Amino acid sequence: MYQTMEGNARPHRTAQCFTEGSQDGAAVTQAELLNALQSVSDNIMRLAGKLRGERDATADDAESITEQHALAQELIGRLLALPASQA
């Protein structure tokens, strides 16, 4: 099962979808933010396992995990900033 998840994960696609959605001015719902955060979290765990195991790990993986971590921090900040009526 891990191999299937590893092959299907696309960290750059997650980041791209999130930034595209936030640029059009439409309000992002709590569910969308949580879904994006789950995807980013999955990507971080996949990359961390790859880096820790040192199998097929590259400098791009280290850079990607840093980008995913920054995106996760942004998502958490946006979730915390939501008004209580949306939560």
**Domain boundaries defined on the chain:** 28-81
In tens, the pLDDT along 27-41 reads: 788 999 999 999 999
Closest CA to 64 of 11, 6, 14: 11
Dump pLDDT digits (tens) for 33-84. Answer: 999 999 999 999 998 888 887 767 778 888 999 999 999 999 999 999 988 7
Model pLDDT, residue 55: 65
In the chain, the N- to C-terminal Cα span, in Å, equals 33
- pLDDT class of 2 with cuts at 50, 70, 90: very low
Q: What are the respective helix, strand and coil percentages of the chain, to the nearest 5?
A: 75, 0, 25
Q: Grade residue 3 by pLDDT with cuts at 50, 70 and 90.
A: very low
pTM for this entry: 0.63
